[in-house]
Each structure stands twice: as C-alpha cells, then as structure tokens.
Amino acid sequence: MRLIAGCGYLGARVAALWIAAGHRVAAITRSAGRAEQLQKLGIVPVIADITDPQSLVKIAELGPLEGVFYAVGLDRQSGHTMEQVYIGGLRNFLDAQKKSSPYPKFLFVSSSSVYAQVDGEWVDETSALNAASGPGKTMRDAEATLKKIMPAAVILRFAGIYGPGRLLRQKAIEQAEPIPVDPDKWLNLIHVDDGAKLVDLAWDRAQPGGEYNIADSSPVLRGDYYRTLARLLHAPEPHFIAGEMGKRGGPDSAHRRICAKKARTELGWFCEYPNHELGLKAILEAERRQ
C-alpha cells in the first residue's frame, strides 16, 4: 500500500499513475465528501487531519506501508498557520506513521522558495537554502524537521506548478487588469503532469536522503510568460505595475533560475513540456476541444 498525504492537484495525478500501474493507493483527507471522490477513483480514503494527532491513528488500520508521498498544502480556510501545518503537522504525521510502519520510503514535496537568491543566478541542490522569512523559511524549517527525524527521506523542491485549471493570473490577463510583478524577474515553472511523472520515477530511483529540484528546462522572465499567455488567450497585451507582491521577500520577488539537471541525470526524467509556451498551448488547446 502506498499512502499519499495531500492528494490534491499534484497528488491526485500521482495516484492515477500508480493505480494504472496496478499499485494499491490510500490517501488522507479531512473531508467526508472528498473521501467519496477518492473512493470513486480507486483510492482508499483515510479521514484524518495532520493537525490532529488523535485522528492519525487511523493510518495504522492500513497495515504495513510500502511508503509515503507527502504533498500536504495549506488550506487557508482551515484557520491554521503555515507553521502549524508544514512543521507541526509533519511532526504529527511522522510520529503516527512510524508506529504503523517504521521508516518506509518517504517522498516529501517542498518548494524552490527555500532558495532566496535575488540576483538572477542559477541555483542547484548545492546552493544555499537562504530563505529567511515567509513561506520559503517555513519550507526550509520543514525540510530540517524531516531530515532530523527521517534522514533517508527524499526531498522534491518544486518550482511553480501549473496545468489545466491552474494558470498564473489567467483571469487578470483576460480582464486586462494590471499585473503587480516585475516583468524582468525570472519565473520557474513545472507542468503538473511532468511533476507527477517525476514523483513516479523518484519513488523507484531516488537516492535515500536525496534532494532534487523540479523545474522545466527553461526559466522564463515573468513579462514573457504573461505576454505569451495573453497572446494564446487572444487577450490584450499585459501591463505591469509595482506592488506589494513584488517587494523584497514577497512571493513574486524571487529572481533566480532553478537548475533541475540532477533529477534528469539521476532519475532519467524528462519533461513533455520543457518550456512554458508548449505547456500553455497544450492546456488551452485541450480546453477549447472540450
């Protein structure tokens, strides 16, 4: 049995790949409604909440686990802070899963935001994890928590995930709203389907304790990304304004290029969508055919 904690946008696609390959998959969810949806997809639902240690005893009912894919995200409507979810919740989960299946294979979804370089340089897995505040610091601390408890865990540092139904600022582009970003800063992306394939490969091929950056082959300047999206949507040319999001330390202030050569070399991974334009075209063409 393979367990997914965080069976959302990325996790559901990973589950589909594994089920198609004949693996049994379980997933944790807080919602009874979501549990019904998972069951229809062939996934064994476990209704539990990582911020509630008592609820996690249900993991033991699954029996021995082959391993865990941990892709928990923050539900902003839950009322919990990032620290409560990404660090406290992780500790709760690790404590519960060790009791049911000691030290199984463990793949952890982190973020390239742990790198806070702002001069446009390339960063790889040897670069400093220098995020000192915000979501990047929280993910850096979560990684440290995981490594201390489970040194063999594999860390997957994802760039921005996009795909069907999740295109950065699509509505703003369609409505010709100003975009509050610096168009001359780098944006790093990965198509969700390429990300799911990476997880599948990492499950079998990643080195214990390995760390991998997950991004496509072509970082893109933010202005070029939004201009491409506008063109493909037949929307007006976007214009940009300075805003809170682009201030130093804000989520749109990053200015670095993520190198994912290690994942390609060690895992034999390649991207079906190696750049943003190919990915955007495929998504929008599929939507138009529907």
The residue ranges of every structural domain in the chain are 2-164+189-218+258-273
pLDDT for the residue numbered 100? 63
**Mean pLDDT across 93-119:** 87
**Secondary structure string (H, E, C) spanning 9-77:** CCHHHHHHHHHHCCCCEEEEECCHHHHHHHHHCCCEEEECCCCCHHHHHHHHHHCCCCEEEECCCCCCC
Contact 180, 241 (CB under 8 A): yes
**Mean pLDDT across 110-127:** 95
**Mean pLDDT across 84-101:** 87
As given in the structure block, the two tokens for residue 162 are 């996009």
Measured CA distances, 38 to 7, 44, 107, 158, 163 (Å): 9, 7, 21, 24, 20
pLDDT digits (tens, 9 = 90+) for 273-287: 999 999 999 999 999
The distance in angstroms from the start CA to the end CA of the chain is: 35
Query: Would you say how long the chain is, in residues?
Result: 290
Q: DSSP secondary-structure letter at 162?
A: E
At 242, the pLDDT band (50, 70, 90 cuts) reads confident
pLDDT digits (tens, 9 = 90+) for 151-162: 999 999 999 999
- Triad 194, 250, 131: Cα angle to 5°: 75
Does 251 have pLDDT greater than 70?
no
> Mean pLDDT score of the chain, rounded to an integer?
92
**Mean pLDDT across 43-53:** 95
pLDDT for the residue numbered 249? 45
At 245, the pLDDT band (50, 70, 90 cuts) reads very low
pLDDT digits (tens, 9 = 90+) for 173-221: 999 999 999 999 999 999 999 999 999 999 999 999 999 999 998 999 9
> Which CATH number applies to 2-164+189-218+258-273: 3.40.50.720, 3.10.310.70, 3.30.300.130, 3.20.20.140?
3.40.50.720
The Cα 128–Cα 211 span in angstroms is: 13
**Mean pLDDT across 31-56:** 95
At 290, the pLDDT band (50, 70, 90 cuts) reads confident
Cα atoms in the Cβ-side hemisphere of radius 13 Å centred on 111: 22
Residue, of 132 and 26, whose pLDDT is higher: 26
DSSP H/E element including 276 = helix 276-289
pLDDT for the residue numbered 246? 46
pLDDT digits (tens, 9 = 90+) for 63-87: 889 999 999 988 777 778 889 999 9
- Over its C-alpha atoms, the chain yields an Rg (Å, rounded) of 19
pLDDT for the residue numbered 64? 87
Does 252 have pLDDT greater than 50?
yes
Burial of 64 (0-12, 13-18, 19+ CB in 10 A): exposed
